[in-house]
Chain A
């Protein structure tokens, strides 16, 4: 895809990208905040996933956990997204060829589709299983997908730096 490559090369030489890449401080600082942002997204979503799997907070209604956890997950997501974008453009030209980066982008799309499907299907009838300690199979499947996908995103994300070395 030459047009995508050209775009990456154009982004790579912008002042913002060059500034982050060449500064001795910006990249590690943004990277540190990115890591903590991931922690906020994944750790809070994991609490909901573990409730769906009946591991923790078994007696609390699923909808109550979801309502209270998701705003914090979104807050973490915005931190992760903004810092992730900055890190991506700083290394755009090398990231284009980085297989770990490509895998991570695919995984991010999948991890977005998972809750979309969950909310449009099984979660619509949450009233009927809200208090169940063992939730419907499709809800448990969504929880397992979420945990596995997020874990893979963390692995792929760390590998980006190892592959770029």
Chain B
């Protein structure tokens, strides 16, 4: 099934029609998306700042990566579910929206890239193998990716 056909189909499901036609559903789900963003974004920021060596300096890298994994991982799941519901309410519109397309591409890249870094760091027992310039570079890339996703998300409503 092509992406276009998928967007057609998903918009015509009961849930898709409900998301489109209900007066309050979109607003409520959008607010949930923002609440999840607040927790997720702050945790992503702290994890990457720890990788950079500027936040949580008293705690080991692996501990910060492990302890904040429920927030970054849970946050991304909550954002994906609420985001998918928003998408269902206007799937054809979003299919043609360049900001939405950019956001989705960046999201897949950031998802794989960031969680590869964080999961790997959380499993490392020796701190020495983590204290590399490569990890610092990775955290800058991750922060830039998530920042761009935030701005692209804001742009969806304006293009």
- Nearest A residue to B150, CB-CB: A36
Query: Taking A43-B45, A68-B57 as contacts, is the C-beta distance between A56 and B38 under 8 angstroms?
Result: no
Q: Name the contact of A154 in the complex, choosing from B31, B57, B58, B70 (C-beta under 8 A).
A: B31
Q: Which residues of A contact B (CB under 8 A)?
A: 28, 31-32, 35-36, 38-47, 50, 56-57, 60, 64, 68-69, 72, 76, 150-151, 154-155, 158, 162
Shortest Cβ distance from B40 into A: residue:
A43
Besides the contacts A36-B41, A44-B46, what 11 more A-B pairs have beta carbons closer than 8 Å?
Answer: A32-B151, A38-B38, A42-B39, A44-B45, A46-B39, A47-B42, A56-B67, A60-B67, A155-B31, A158-B31, A158-B34
Complex interface residues of chain B between 132 and 159 (CB less than 8 A to chain A): 147, 150-151, 154-155, 157-158
Interface residue? B59 (CB, 8 A): yes
B contact patch SS? helix
A-B contact count (CB 8 A): 95
Q: Which residues of B contact A (CB under 8 A)?
A: 27, 30-31, 34-35, 37-46, 49, 55-59, 63, 67-68, 70-71, 147, 150-151, 154-155, 157-158
Nearest residue (CB) in B for A55 is B70
Query: Secondary structure at chain A's binding surface: helix, strand, loop or mixed?
Result: helix
